[in-house]
Amino acid sequence: MKNILVSGGAGFIGSSLVAILLHKGYNVTVVDNLSSGKIENLDSFFSSDRFDFIQMDLLEIEGLSKIIERCDVIFHLAASADVRIGHVNTEIDYLNNIVATRNILECMRRSNKCKKIIFTSSSVVYGDASVIPTPEYYGPLKPISLYGGSKLACEALISGYVSIFGLTGIIFRVANVVGPSSNHGVIVDFVRKLGASDGKFLNIFGDGTQNKSYLYIDDLIEALLIGMGDLTSSLEIFNVGSEDQINVNSIARIICHEFGLEKVNFRYLTEWEDGRGWPGDVKNMLLSVDKLKKHGWKINYSSAESVSLTIKKVTEYNNKTIPRRS
């Protein structure tokens, strides 16, 4: 029975992964500083004698070392997840992504048993890719945000530790992930904005034509579990996303339709000539997932289906604040 550590396990993706790992019979330890994760995401797990939660910052390397020594595999999900924040605070991505990842790898180097890391990177490492769908071998990689740069730096650190110290690293470059307990992103943002405006208008960053892949949480978890298996190389990189795209305008229309709002005024906040939403916003993103599919992974939801399904779940907690009007 493997002992698994999930960093950032109190977050949206992390808690969803923990639920599946416990269901499959693993012993799971979550380390999370609760800066963005929520303890209530873990409430249903505390009754299990195979679950342990430790509130800790990954910058505390000595305490982290003791925890990692008890584990066989690490799912490293903890990160600063807001791409936009690097525009106003250049330290957050460096500390919470790069330094935190280095600390985990250093503890693994010292460990006698924990030698495998499964890391959630991001599609934004590709920057404004000229090849769509973008394969894993695309290059050179030119991130256009500090978040993307920090994720690419983490990938490089993992590659170095794998090569020098004999670790195994599985890296997943993940598209936009949505699901019932999403707490940030375009869907949650739009629902909150519609509530604040009483359904009269919706402020949209950019020109609304930003076209991206959206991945439902269940499909992502199935991909991450493939990283638990025996792969041919000690370092593997996989794209994971849907095989189609949906633009921001379409997402806004789906949300409005869900609430019966037919006359919402879309207000576009455009500061960039090419219509992107903010500094570092990748306007067009679609990943090639052929490599992952060869390992048995399949997609159950398209981008539009992922968005629609998420809206139905998210709005269960928000629809009282948004008037339904025809």
Rounded Cα distance between 87 and 271, Å, is: 14
Tokens 């904005």 correspond to what residue? 193
Catalytic annotation, pick one of 126, 147, 214, 301: 147
Q: Do the Cβ atoms of 16 and 181 come closer than 8 Å?
A: yes
> Which pLDDT score, from 0 to 100, does residue 85 have?
74
Mean pLDDT, 10 residues at a time, the chain of 326 residues: 93 96 97 93 96 96 93 95 74 94 97 96 97 98 96 98 97 95 86 90 96 96 94 94 97 91 92 89 97 96 94 63 47
Residue 320 is predicted with a pLDDT of: 43
Residue 147 falls in the annotated catalytic set? yes
- Which distant-in-sequence residues (6+ apart) come within 8 Å of 222 by Cβ? 297, 298
Packing angle of the helix pair 303-314, 186-196 (nearest 10 deg): 40
Q: How far is CA 248 from CA 107, 143, 318, in A?
A: 41, 21, 20
CA 18 – CA 150 distance, rounded (Å): 25
Q: Give the CATH number of domain 180-212+244-321.
A: 3.90.25.10
For 112, residues 6+ apart whose C-beta sits below 8 A from its C-beta are 69
Shortest CA distance to 4 belongs to which of 22, 31, 28? 28
Q: What is the domain class of 3-177+214-240 according to CATH?
A: alpha beta
Encoded tokens for 167: 């670790």
Q: Domain residue spans in the chain?
A: 3-177+214-240, 180-212+244-321
Per-residue pLDDT tens digits for 173-188: 999 999 988 878 899 8
Cβ neighbours, 10 Å, residue 113: 13
Q: What is the pLDDT of residues 9-63, one digit of tens each?
A: 999 999 999 999 999 999 999 999 999 899 999 999 999 999 999 999 999 998 9
What pLDDT, on the 0 to 100 scale, is given for residue 262? 84
pLDDT of residue 80: 83
d(CA 256, CA 259): 5
Can you tell me whether residue 314 is helix, strand or coil? helix
